[in-house]
Each structure stands twice: as C-alpha cells, then as structure tokens.
Amino acid sequence: MNQADDRALMTVIGDELAEVRAMVDDLSLLVSDMMACCPPPFRLEAMARAQAFDPVIQRLEALGLLMAEIGAGTPPETALQGVTLSEMANRLTGRGAGGNAPSGDLILFD
C-alpha cells in the first residue's frame, strides 16, 4: 500500500465508524422508547444503564472524525489534537497509559 491507499483506507474506516455511530444512536433511541414499558421498580436502573450509549456514541464519533481527518491528509499528530474527549486523546497518544484507572472507573478517594 502506498500513502494514497492508506489515506483512502482511513477515509473508508471513518465512513464505517460514522455509519456504526448512527446505528448505535438509533439503538439508543429504541431502548429509550422501550423503557416506557419497563416496570417502575426497574425503570431507574434501566435508564442509568441506557446512558452507557452516550459515551459509546461520542467515542465512535471522535474516531470517525479522526479517521476522516487522517484520510484527508492531515498528519496524525495534528488530527489527534482535534480529539476533544480527553481520556480517549490520552489513550491514543500514549499519555494515559500510566497508572490511570480504566476508562469508566471513577476513583473519588485513593
């Protein structure tokens, strides 16, 4: 593969990620609609668990945009500066590989 092929592949990956993001967004709307049928004792927990869609959608969107930028010819180092999700940006650049808690864990007191 040459550089043009690599960029084209990144563009296609970005398009795929955008499509997956839209599908997950549709699923989250379906789950929200279905929660109306959820028995009241379980509704609060179901709503809290359904919120897990939000970071998934955000991360898919960020990855899709990143791939599109690289596919358009933006150097990866520059494209990574546009990632606004700080935890993801740290993982992608290797800055967060140290003793950080896994994504999604909140440590209030250590």
pLDDT at 99: 44
CB neighbourhood size of 70 (10 A): 21
Instruction: In whole angstroms, give the CA distance from residue 67 to residue 79.
Output: 8
pLDDT at 104: 55
Instruction: In whole angstroms, give the CA distance from residue 74 to residue 65.
Output: 11
Divide the 110 residues of the chain into consecutive groups of 10 and give the mean pLDDT of each group: 88 95 96 91 91 94 94 92 90 70 50
Write down the pTM of the prediction: 0.77
pLDDT at 2: 86
H-run or E-run covering 101: none
Rounded to the nearest 5 degrees, what angle is found at the Cα of 80, between the Cα atoms of 82 and 6? Answer: 120
pLDDT at 103: 55
Instruction: In whole angstroms, give the CA distance from residue 76 to residue 73.
Output: 9
Give the domain ranges of the chain.
3-91
Q: What is the DSSP letter of 108?
A: S
